[in-house]
């Protein structure tokens, strides 16, 4: 793929280009459809998929059975592998555990699925979301009969295609010493994002893709988010001189992203 994003990377009409800047393009389309893109274009994927916790997104069902959720996960994670360039990195933000409607090891299950479809495992960052309480119940209060344990953290699983060592791309890193030392410690601590402030039901904070981009990609790399939501990953990519590609199924969130990206990156709509 031309690193200027001069051409469309979608296959025919599989995804519609919703808006474009010089180095950023948001597609409206479906991460479950293999034909959405027909090129290996992504150098770094940073994404947070729907968690299947009954969030009212507008265009997708977030209350699947666990089996259906794992099938959904397998489909889009596999697609991402075929949309990735050699040596691509995949930073997957997912829950550690699921508690509502039965305990499930979501983090472990999705990490296994990613490896089953061909991604290689590198490491896991634990994100301590200081301001979010995940507690919904104590189970058996002050009794060992059935207490509930819940960690106020999420995972950011680092996977890669073929090989970890990056020999492709500009080879220009823009991370400073303090950032590198702090962020290679796999316990990240920063607050979650406010739904109200962003206007989306489940945004992640800019800090998450910002760190992932500076730590795991070179200047000029193509950064892709297949569940772009309010456009947070695209904003972080644009701010860091990467090429931003987003995919989002819901038209309202595409429009929200367009406005937010223009506002937060001070770019002109061209």
Ligand X SMILES: C[S@@+](CC[C@H](N)C(=O)[O-])C[C@H]1O[C@@H](n2cnc3c(N)ncnc32)[C@H](O)[C@@H]1O
Binding site residues, ligand X, CB under 6 A: 30-32, 48, 50, 57, 59-60, 200, 202-204, 227, 229-230, 232, 247-250, 253
Q: How far is the CB of 45 from ligand X (least distance, A)?
A: 12
* Shorter beta-carbon distance to ligand X: residue 169 or 203: 203
Reading the block at residue 215, the tokens are 């730590």
CB of 146 to ligand X, least distance (A): 30
CB 84 within 8 A of CB 161: yes
Q: Which is nearer to ligand X, 3 or 75 (CB)?
A: 75
| 3 state SS of 87 | strand
Give the span between the Cα atoms of 156 and 123, in whole angstroms: 9
Three-state SS for 2? Answer: coil
Nearer to ligand X, 173 or 262 (CB): 262
3-state secondary structure 180-201: HHHHCCCEEECCCCCHHHHCCC
Minimum distance from residue 49 beta carbon to ligand X (Å) = 6
The distance of closest approach from Cβ of residue 248 to ligand X in the complex, given in angstroms and rounded to an integer, is 5
CA dihedral 61, 62, 67, 73 (to 10 degrees): 90
Q: How near is the Cβ of 12 to ligand X at its closest, in Å?
A: 17
Query: How many Å apart are CA 180 and CA 159, to the nearest integer?
Result: 19
- Strand duo 153-160 + 84-95: pairing: antiparallel
CB 204 within 8 Å of CB 193: yes
Q: Which is closer to ligand X, CB of 41 or CB of 227? A: 227
């Amino acid at each position: 793929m031309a690193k200027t994003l001069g051409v469309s990377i979608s296959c025919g009409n599989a995804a519609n280009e919703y808006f474009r800047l010089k180095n950023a393009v948001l597609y409206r389309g479906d991460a479950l459809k293999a034909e959405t893109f027909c090129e290996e274009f992504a150098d770094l994927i940073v994404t947070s998929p729907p968690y299947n916790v009954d969030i009212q997104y507008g265009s997708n069902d977030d209350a699947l059975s666990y089996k259906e959720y794992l099938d959904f996960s397998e489909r889009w994670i596999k697609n991402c592998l075929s949309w990735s360039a050699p040596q691509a990195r995949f930073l997957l933000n997912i829950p550690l555990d699921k508690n509502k409607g039965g305990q499930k090891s979501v983090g472990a299950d999705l990490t296994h699925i990613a490896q089953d479809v061909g991604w290689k495992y590198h490491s896991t960052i634990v994100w301590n979301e200081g301001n979010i309480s995940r507690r919904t119940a104590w189970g058996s209060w002050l009794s060992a009969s059935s207490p509930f344990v819940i960690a106020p953290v999420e995972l950011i699983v680092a996977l890669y295609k073929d090989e970890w060592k990056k020999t492709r791309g500009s080879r220009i890193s823009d991370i400073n010493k303090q950032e590198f030392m702090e962020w290679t410690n796999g316990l990240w601590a920063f607050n979650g994002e406010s739904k109200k402030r962003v206007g989306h039901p489940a945004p992640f904070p800019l800090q998450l893709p910002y760190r992932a981009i500076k730590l795991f990609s070179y200047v000029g790399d193509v950064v892709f988010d297949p569940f772009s939501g309010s456009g947070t990953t695209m904003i972080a990519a644009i701010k860091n001189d990467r090429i931003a590609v987003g995919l989002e199924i819901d038209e309202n969130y595409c429009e929200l992203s367009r406005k937010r990206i223009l506002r937060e990156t001070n770019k002109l709509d061209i």
